[in-house]
Amino acid sequence: MIWVFKFSTFKDLLKLKYMRLYKFHVNYLVSKCLFMLVIVLIIKTILLPNLFTLDGSKNYEMALLKPENVRKKFLEVPQIVWGLNNQKIAFARACLTARMLNRSLLMPSLSASLFYKEIDKLEPISFDKVFDYEKFNSLCDGFVHLSQYSNVRNQSDVFELQKGSGRRWTIEKDFDQLKEFSKEDYDLYETIRVVGKNPFLWHDHWPVSDYAKVFECLVLVGEISQEANKVVSKIREFGNEVNSVTSYQTPYVAIHMRIEKDWMIHCKKREQRSNLSDICSSKEEIITRVANIAALRPPTVLYLAVANELLEGNSVLNGWKEGMHPVDKKGLGVVDIYKQHPYLIQAAIDYEVCLRADVFVGNSYSTFSSLLVLERSQKMIKSGISNACGIEGRWPSYAYNLEGESSGPRPWMTNFSDSSLQAISYGSNSVSC
């Protein structure tokens, strides 16, 4: 028994000694690893401090690779001029040019005053005083992008691009120029500045659907939208006054009446040059054709979007069919709302009022009417109606200068498959119906 006990004790001693050596060895390895790790961290922190952040987030190198942190390139364009909708087309064309060059468009200046030839009378107004800058980038995210001048890091890193002009400068040459400037050679420059004519007069290289995407992102700032709300409210109140029989809301038809002196001179000259007879429309022709819109049921309010100060002859409120109740800005008592704003804002308010109408009637050769129909067509398609010709539904539009069925105006819807904006930006008798 004694020898067994001794042997057991000796065995236990060896085992204990082995465990102590093993524990020491493990502790030594752990300590060594921890020590090496600390040394590595110290060296990297000293030599490469930007690779780590104190808050434990992803390293700085990875952050730089994020798309939003990549150094942007920009396109700068001349001040945008002409009428409201010509300016919208010019802006969209500048956006699409920037997209082709893989650049962000620097927020351009619009023109508050109506411009024809008096360059000294231009009143520049910032884009974000008319349209919502943040909403534009949000709605157009991934398609086109708008930047502020404060985003430019090097104001002197600019290459000037002279846009061609004249009869020898063809659409093919213009497109080749843009392709050339979209090459990597020009990525060295932070900003490409276009010098020359305003964007509305540039050649068109994009389908209607691309323009439509840009137009859809143009949302009026709150102040202008609220002014339009006031006018629409007045129209609805007027409708309630003339409708004392039924309880439903009286619909209103917005009529963009192009019968002002300046328009009649322009359209008659164009009819002569084009050998056409369907551009100009008299007040009497408009009244007759609107009266023959089969979908209209009395009582109906007619909002006449017209520049009264440029009219010749008597009031446009006379001669309308019984059950149709015409009203203009003076009759609504909203003249002061318009007068406190420059031309561009006045046009934007009227555009919004016509856009919200139950029915719109305009002239197919007018850019104002054409862009309104484009936007109303977009709304119609989103509601599930792909072809509104001859169909009663929401957002219907008509061209009073073109005769349709039963001597009424022709139904009008934008053709989004067109390869260019030619029909809209310069007007035509093509209304897709």
Average pLDDT, integer, range 328-348: 94
End-to-end CA gap in the chain: 116
Average pLDDT, integer, range 229-255: 88
79 touches 195 (CB < 8 A): no
Confidence of residue 5 (pLDDT cuts 50, 70, 90): very low
Q: According to the model, what pLDDT value does residue 119 have?
A: 56
Tell me whether domains 67-216 and 222-426 share a fold.
Answer: yes
Q: According to the model, what pLDDT value does residue 385 have?
A: 78
Average pLDDT, integer, range 177-191: 91
Cα 382 from Cα 386, distance rounded (Å): 8
Confidence of residue 312 (pLDDT cuts 50, 70, 90): low
If we measure between CA atoms, which residue out of 149, 216, 175 comes closest to residue 379?
A: 216
Mapped onto helix, strand or coil, the DSSP state of residue 303 is strand
159 Rama class: left (phi>0) / alpha (psi -120 to 50) / beta: beta
Q: Residue ranges of the domains in the chain? A: 67-216, 222-426
Give the distance from CA 327 to its chain's centroid: 31
The yes-or-no verdict on residue 1 having pLDDT over 50 is no
Specify whether domain 67-216 bears CATH 3.40.50.
yes
Beta carbons within 8 Å of 385's beta carbon, 6+ residues apart: 391, 393, 394
CATH architecture assigned to 222-426: 3-Layer(aba) Sandwich (3.40)
Average pLDDT, integer, range 347-368: 95
The yes-or-no verdict on residue 403 having pLDDT over 60 is yes
If we measure between CA atoms, which residue out of 201, 88, 216 comes closest to residue 143?
A: 216
Cα 102 from Cα 83, distance rounded (Å): 28
Give, in order, the Cα–Cα distances in Å from 45 to each of 38, 54, 186, 246, 426.
10, 11, 37, 79, 64
If we measure between CA atoms, which residue out of 179, 11, 185, 152 comes closest to residue 71?
A: 152
b/e map 393-413, b = 16+ CB within 10 Å: eebbbbbbbbbbeeebbbbbb
| DSSP string for residues in 87-130 | HHHHHHHHHHHHHHTT-EEE--EEESS--SS-GGG--EEEGGGT
Q: Which helix (H) or strand (E) holds 361?
A: strand 359-362
Residue with tokens 């049921």: 297
Return the higher-pLDDT residue of 159 and 185.
159
**What are 29-81's pLDDT values in tens digits?**
556 566 666 565 555 444 444 433 333 333 333 333 334 434 589 999 999 99
Q: According to the model, what pLDDT value does residue 246 have?
A: 65
Average pLDDT, integer, range 134-157: 94
**What are 68-108's pLDDT values in tens digits?**
434 589 999 999 999 899 999 999 999 999 999 999 999 99
Average pLDDT, integer, range 1-16: 45
Cα 368 from Cα 88, distance rounded (Å): 10
Strands 324-327 and 74-76: unpaired
Q: According to the model, what pLDDT value does residue 387 have?
A: 72
* Runs of H (alpha helix) within 296-427: 329-332, 335-339, 343-355, 367-382, 422-426
224 touches 345 (CB < 8 A): yes
Hey, which residues does 255 pair with through a beta bridge?
Answer: 304, 361
User: What value does the mean pLDDT of the chain take?
Assistant: 83
* Runs of H (alpha helix) within 164-216: 171-181, 208-216
Token readout for 322 is: 């019984």
Return the higher-pLDDT residue of 132 and 315.
132
Mapped onto helix, strand or coil, the DSSP state of residue 417 is coil
121 touches 115 (CB < 8 A): yes
Average pLDDT, integer, range 331-340: 94
Cα 23 from Cα 33, distance rounded (Å): 15
Cα 399 from Cα 417, distance rounded (Å): 20
Q: According to the model, what pLDDT value does residue 65 have?
A: 34
Beta carbons within 8 Å of 109's beta carbon, 6+ residues apart: 79, 80, 124, 125, 126, 127
